[in-house]
Amino acid sequence: MATTLISGGTVISAVGRREADVLIDGESITAILAPGQAAAFGIAADRTIDATGKYVVPGGVDVHTHMSLPFGGTEASDTFETGTIAAAWGGVTTIVDFAVQNTGTSVHEKLAEWHEKAADNCSIDYGFHQIIGGVDEDALKAMTYLVDNEGITSFKLFMAYPGILYSDDGQILRAMQNASESGALIMMHAENGIAIDVLVAQAIARGDTDPQFHSLTRPAELESEATHRAIQLAKVAGNVPLYIVHMSASGALEEVAAAQHAGLNVFAETCPQYLYLSLEDQLMQPGFEGAKWVCSTPLRTKHEHHQSDLWKGLRLNELAVVSTDHCPFCFKDQKELGLGDFSKIPNGIGGVEHRMELIYQGVVAGEISLERWVETCSTTPARMFGLDKKGVLEPGADADVLIWDPNGRTKIGINDKHHMNMDHSAYEGFEIDGKVDTVLSRGMVVVEDDTFKGRKGHGQFVKRGLSRYLH
Ligand SMILES: [Zn+2]
């Protein structure tokens, strides 16, 4: 098998940095060598990649994407093919997407459907979480089966979207009890959907139909209330590991921090949109423009301190992971479904390509360290979700590598760097210090010299183990 030596770079891990060379044999890393060791040992790799002046980090792991997700009468515009190409352009080498079961459908059949969408289409590796939108006897049985046999060890429940994906508290408790038995982790969309639906109906009846009312009818209190309730239910269900997705607000973060201080197995993620974008600057843009930034949980007001609190949460590990909740819809014909009624705008922002870039900006701005960038974007998501060969550069790990040029610059925008299948960018005009230089997926160069060199079908389904935080 072909060997590759990545030489001359600075290897950054979650716990430190050092000048080192990375030796790859086939699809795996075989050694991390001190500078000069390769020559001293007489190692002549088939190919050498010069990383002088660059950072060599584990490829990004994005544990929250929705390729081809059916939503509100349309479908997320990135397929597994286009979405994993965009991910690779952004230095991401593994995604974990969501197979969706809802009331009256079979978990096994829906999972098979998602396998079919992804198989032979991905250019980087992928796994699945299973959404359980209809908790019943069959679904509970299937949950255990998936953990034991299918490499699917995390289940997402919804306290939002009544009638579509919503579970009531009794259903949530039963699913949590089941996960507590099998060792699985519960992911929670924590917003009080019953109360939100009342506020939405009242806003529409008043004639408040613009995109900004998407956020105003989903107040932060209904995120913190649901977060609190999910935490208490998880405690009652035997302290099952609970992972709150796409956290957007200070109050919800306080609930998570309090639970962690009480010793509960509670974790949370946030996404770049909540760290950079706001109600006033994006959702309130004139006319229907704000529809581009309709996502749930919603963007929050900049007049409170959600963004600075979320950065602080990342520093303190109250927020363990940054994911994207990549769920792209085009403006034309898709977001436009909600013209005149914000509640019909498909919920989602495309971002799988830009997470490594945007969170690196947090390093440049002094919010987090380089090591914390690697930890929140690669190492912890891999550990949290049992991706045992991902998220680290060490012998035996998959050779998933991002070579990052700290002296480069990246301009994000529809006519600049943009490879997602969307007609706009949520981050149009953002200019980023640093640049994705080279990306390897299991030893194969997939991005190099501003060219995509990957191959559809190279990406394989990864069976995941249990969360390594607890087992
Ligand atoms: Zn999501």
CA of 180 to the centre of ligand 1 (A): 23
| Identity at 399, one-letter amino acid code | A
- Tell me: the pLDDT tens digits for 272-313? 999 999 999 999 999 999 999 999 999 999 999 999 999 999
Whether pLDDT at 115 is above 80 = yes
Which is it for strands 55-58 and 401-411: parallel, antiparallel or unpaired? antiparallel
The predicted model scores a pTM of: 0.98
* CATH topology for the 59-384 domain: TIM Barrel (3.20.20)
Percent pLDDT > 70 in the chain is 100
Does the pLDDT value for residue 449 go beyond 70? yes
CA distance 92 to 95: 7
Q: Quick check: 72 pLDDT over 90?
A: no
Place 470 in a pLDDT band, splitting at 50, 70 and 90: confident
* Spacing, Cα 65 to ligand 1 middle (Å): 7
Average pLDDT over every residue of 158-170: 97
Residue 471 has pLDDT above 70, yes or no: no
Distance in Å, CA 316 to ligand 1 centroid? 24
> What's the gap in Å between 430 CA and the centre of ligand 1?
23
Q: Is 302 exposed, middle or buried (0-12, 13-18, 19+ CB in 10 A)?
A: middle
Q: 64 CA distance to ligand 1 centroid (A)?
A: 6
CA of 51 to the centre of ligand 1 (A): 35
CA 54 / ligand 1 centre spacing (Å): 33
List pLDDT tens digits, range 191-216.
999 999 999 999 999 999 999 999 99
The residue ranges of every structural domain in the chain are: 59-384
Q: pLDDT (tens digit, 9 = 90+) per residue, 326-364?
A: 999 999 999 999 999 999 999 999 999 999 999 999 999
Confidence of residue 24 (pLDDT cuts 50, 70, 90): very high
- CA of 22 relative to ligand 1 center, distance in Å: 34
**d(Cα 79, Cα 413) in Å, to the nearest integer?**
20
Question: How does pLDDT run across 137-157, given as a tens digit for each residue?
Answer: 999 999 999 999 999 999 999
